[in-house]
Structure 1
Amino acid sequence: MHSLSPAFHLPVLGCWLSLCAAESFFACPSSCKCNSGNLEVDCSGLGLSSIPSGIPTNTRTFLFLNNKLSILPGAVFSNLSALQRLDLSNNFLDQLPQNIFSDLGNLTELQLRNNSIRALDKDLLQHTALLRQLDLSINGLAQIPSGIFDDLPALRSLSLRSNRLQSLDRVTFEPLTSLQQLQVGDNPWECDCNLRDFKHWMEWFSYRGGKIDQLACTLPKELKGKDMRMVPMEMFNYCSQLDDENSSTVLDNTGPPCTKGSPTPSKSKSGPETEVEPSVGCPQKQRYRPVSVRRAIGTVIIAGVVCGIVCIMMVVAAAYGCIYASLMAKYHRELKKRQPLMGDTEGEHEEQKQISSVA
């Protein structure tokens, strides 16, 4: 039996080495599931409290759902520059380091749903310009920092549902020129002057074809349960007055800043200690509240009724004037036909009597 020639062994050895290199290049972390075809690493539902080491550098999808992750080290994703999809939903994250996503320049989808995140740094997404989908729903966010979306021109879908948001600033959302879908429901929205400008942005966003779910008001009680987009703009007329008063207050306040307490100057070291008394120069600002919806609608109805009555009265007066003018013209025509010859004083007296009786 003839042995195989060395020329045959070389291609087989090359294929075997390349296969081993490919397998080692996409080595799967222990207890995780990996798919070398689409370069996906799935470590979901394993009860893990930290990101496992040994994730291949060419991974495009990393799934880490339903675990016990509470802390993310700052450089945990530093070697995953090819990552496109990252899902950390259903964990216990309460904060995110400022530069946690700084090395993920190819990231297009970021899922942070159902965590305990209470605050976001404005530079958190500074290096993720290709991001298209962002889910921050079911967290503890009380505000969205201005400037956090400035570097996301490709973002199409954003979810802020089920947080603790009470107001939003339209300046924060104006850089999202590609946004198509926004979810803001299930938040304790306070529909006051702080939300007025965002209402304008929502109307513009809907006008250009964007989809947004219901933004139901929680406060004030007159608007509870109503969609902010359906609230008449007349409800916020008081905001202009509030802005004018605030601006005049800033111009008039040339003295020291107002404080809750002002200590009285000390008399001497041997004297009694000074006590802090409340300052009388800090009057409590009255809180403006929007007018009632019923009152606004009632004002419109009353104004319409008054205008209608005035119009009817003008029409009746015009008709009466026309009728009176036609009767007088007819009377003068008949009077000319019956007018006696010139010099008949008796006819003239009779004409004057008839005119006076008609008047």
Structure 2
Amino acid sequence: MAPACLLGVCGLLGAWSVVMGHPCGLDHQGWADCNRKSLLHAPSSLPSNITGLDLSFNSLVVPHHGTLLMHFPSLHSLNLSSNALLVLRPAIFSNLRALRLLDLSSCSITYLHTDAFKGLGNLHTLLLRNNSLQELEVPFFLPLKALFHLDLQHNVMVSVDTRSLQLMEAVPWVQLEGNPWACDCGAQPLQQWLQRRQAVQVTCASPPGLQGREVAALDSQDLGCPMKRRFPRWVSTAQQITVTHSNTTTPPAGKGGRSWPYLVGFLVAAIGISILIALAAKCKLFHKNFASYRHRPLPETSSIGGSPMEDGSSWDRGSSGRGDCESHPMPRAADLQAEDDDGFIEDNYIQPSEQLPEEEERELHLSI
């Protein structure tokens, strides 16, 4: 029953195409084959629900404004190869939101507008080989969120910028073979990108010394880039600039790369001298503090009776007589002993209790 239905559908499509008079062939899967028909525009008589359209090897005219195929919003596959498109203008495919494969091979394309693929968020495969593209601008990749396969073989690209390479990191399959790549220092990002992707057969076209060599197999010296050196944190910026500048010239034979031991030795010597000076200063300060805290005996003081204070008391006592003695009693031995804070007892020290009876006896004798 199913084969009979398919035959019936194919017969109806064939009869419909004969009646409508378009030169394209239709199959039961919704594919329209219009290649090599010398067409200037896609036939408007084709069904609008077709899912595949082959317009290769024709003479299509690209409109200056609007879309190229505005009557076929259900297309999943579109082949426009071998048409002289030259320039792709903004949003030329914006109505083909279901498109998954777009073949633009051999279309002599020299320029891609940054919005040329606007609206193709579901595009899976983009074929741009055998064109005349010299460079890829960064916004060209932004609408292609689902891109899996990008074919850029056999264009005239000599370099590619770092930002475009970063965007191509999200594309699993990228073909760059057959371009005249210039293998100089500017190709170092491409060389590193190819090494990460393990891409082969991407060869140099210039300079002559590197012609035919694989870009991924080159290193910084082959590309003529100055080598970057890593410096320890203790090396100053001025020293880094000096060393970097010295790398641009040819070092003398037998002396290149031998200066770092001298620098290390100088730093070690400076640190050792600083430590010795600090130790000497600390030792001197220690001896000074030790000498100041050594125990010394207190100087000998004069006897209590010979002190100026006691002399003054004796003079006052002799001039004022007994009444002054009574009004100013002599200090007791306990008080004198408390005031004596040097801990020594003088030989000529006389207790006040022994001195008072002698004075009273002398005064009694004078009164008699």
Q: TM-score normalised by the shorter chain: which range applies?
A: 0.5 to 0.7
The question of whether the paired residues in 2 share the 8 Å contact of 1:183 and 1:213 is answered with no
Distance, in Å, in 1 between the alignment partners of 2:100 and 2:91 is 17
1:45 aligned residue: 36
Distance, in Å, in 2 between the alignment partners of 1:131 and 1:239 is 41
| SS state at 1:234 partner | helix
TM-superposed CA distance for 1:157, in Å, is 1.3
Query: Cα 1:188–1:55, aligned 2, differ >3 Å: closer, same or farther?
Result: same
Question: Which of 185, 200, 205 is the aligned partner of 1:218?
Answer: 205
| C-alpha RMSD of the superposition | 3.5
Distance, in Å, in 1 between the alignment partners of 2:170 and 2:46 is 32
TM-score where L is the length of structure 1: 0.55
Deviation by residue 1:157-188 (Cα, 9 ceiling, x = unmatched): 11111111100123214334552322212211
The question of whether the paired residues in 1 share the 8 Å contact of 2:68 and 2:93 is answered with no
Query: Cα 1:53–1:79, aligned 2, differ >3 Å: closer, same or farther?
Result: closer
1:110 aligned residue: 102
Deviates more, 1:189-198 or 1:68-77: 68-77
Aligned positions of 1:1-359 closer than 5 A: 30-35=22-27, 37-72=28-63, 74-176=66-168, 178-206=170-198, 212-236=199-223, 238=225
The question of whether the paired residues in 1 share the 8 Å contact of 2:126 and 2:149 is answered with yes
| SS state at 1:98 partner | coil
Distance, in Å, in 1 between the alignment partners of 2:90 and 2:169 is 24
Query: Cα 1:234–1:82, aligned 2, differ >3 Å: closer, same or farther?
Result: same
TM-superposed CA distance for 1:195, in Å, is 1.8
Distance, in Å, in 2 between the alignment partners of 1:130 and 1:28 is 32
The question of whether the paired residues in 2 share the 8 Å contact of 1:153 and 1:176 is answered with no
Deviation by residue 1:252-281 (Cα, 9 ceiling, x = unmatched): xxxxxxxxxxxxxxxxxxxxxxxxxxxxxx
Deviation by residue 1:210-233 (Cα, 9 ceiling, x = unmatched): xx4522111112211111100122
Distance, in Å, in 2 between the alignment partners of 1:82 and 1:240 is 54
Distance, in Å, in 1 between the alignment partners of 2:103 and 2:135 is 19
TM-superposed CA distance for 1:236, in Å, is 4.2
Distance, in Å, in 1 between the alignment partners of 2:218 and 2:38 is 46
Distance, in Å, in 2 between the alignment partners of 1:129 and 1:93 is 22
The question of whether the paired residues in 2 share the 8 Å contact of 1:60 and 1:84 is answered with yes
Query: Cα 1:103–1:188, aligned 2, differ >3 Å: closer, same or farther?
Result: same
TM-superposed CA distance for 1:77, in Å, is 1.6
TM-score where L is the length of structure 2: 0.54
Distance, in Å, in 2 between the alignment partners of 1:237 and 1:114 is 35
The question of whether the paired residues in 1 share the 8 Å contact of 2:30 and 2:52 is answered with yes
| SS state at 1:175 partner | helix
| SS state at 2:167 partner | coil
Gaps of 5+ in 2: 1-10, 229-247, 255-368
1:338 aligned residue: none
| Matched letter for residue 45 of structure 2 | G
TM-superposed CA distance for 1:80, in Å, is 1.9
Distance, in Å, in 2 between the alignment partners of 1:32 and 1:135 is 23
Distance, in Å, in 2 between the alignment partners of 1:158 and 1:51 is 25
Query: Cα 1:49–1:77, aligned 2, differ >3 Å: closer, same or farther?
Result: closer
| Matched letter for residue 157 of structure 1 | H
Distance, in Å, in 1 between the alignment partners of 2:39 and 2:145 is 34
Distance, in Å, in 1 between the alignment partners of 2:223 and 2:170 is 29
Query: Cα 1:150–1:177, aligned 2, differ >3 Å: closer, same or farther?
Result: same
| Matched letter for residue 144 of structure 1 | L
Structure with higher Rg: it is 2
Number of aligned residue pairs: give it: 225
TM-superposed CA distance for 1:84, in Å, is 0.8
The question of whether the paired residues in 2 share the 8 Å contact of 1:70 and 1:94 is answered with no
| Matched letter for residue 78 of structure 1 | M
Gaps of 5+ in 1: 1-18, 207-211, 242-290, 292-301, 304-359
Distance, in Å, in 2 between the alignment partners of 1:112 and 1:28 is 29
